[in-house]
Amino acid sequence: MYTISETAEKLGMSAHTLRYYEKEGIIAPQRNEAGIREFDEQHILWLQFVKKMRETQMPVTQIKAYTELFQEGEHTAGDRLKLLEEHQQYIKDQIETLQATDEMLTKKITAYKKAMKGILN
């Protein structure tokens, strides 16, 4: 079991973020006799997933919706799959945009370097 500060450090996120996720119903840590939050390995795995979804711009509202569907049970698997497929498509679209932008920047940078080389010679 991990405390909130240990969990935050392990995941590279703030304790404030973990409390927010708890408030939003995205995570439900156990509490010990003293009322202190305790996180286990399952919580860590779940939070790693949540962190990746946030890093790829999935809104908290969608993560919350996914969490609620998961908690409802296996009959929601189709809805969860759809939500993840839509997010995956969003990521693929972003990758395509970034690759096109990188190519454009490479051309611009090359043109500037050629122009500057001509000025310096």
Domains in the chain: how many in total? Answer: 1
**90-110 pLDDT, tens digit each:** 999 999 999 999 999 999 999
What Rg value do the Cα atoms of the chain yield, rounded? 22
Which DSSP letter does residue 75 get?
G
Single out the residue of 1, 16, 13 nearest to residue 53, CA to CA: 13
The per-residue pLDDT for 120 is 67
Average pLDDT for residues 83-87, to the nearest whole number? 97
Sole residue written with tokens 């240990």: 6
- pLDDT recorded at residue 89: 98
Q: Average per-residue pLDDT in the chain?
A: 94
| Residue range of the domain that includes 8 | 4-120
Instruction: Give the side-chain half-sphere CA count within 13 A for 75.
Output: 1
8 pLDDT tier (thresholds 50, 70, 90): very high
- Global pTM? 0.82
Q: What is the CATH number of the domain that holds 55?
A: 1.10.1660.10
Contact call for residues 55 and 13 (beta carbons, < 8 A):
no
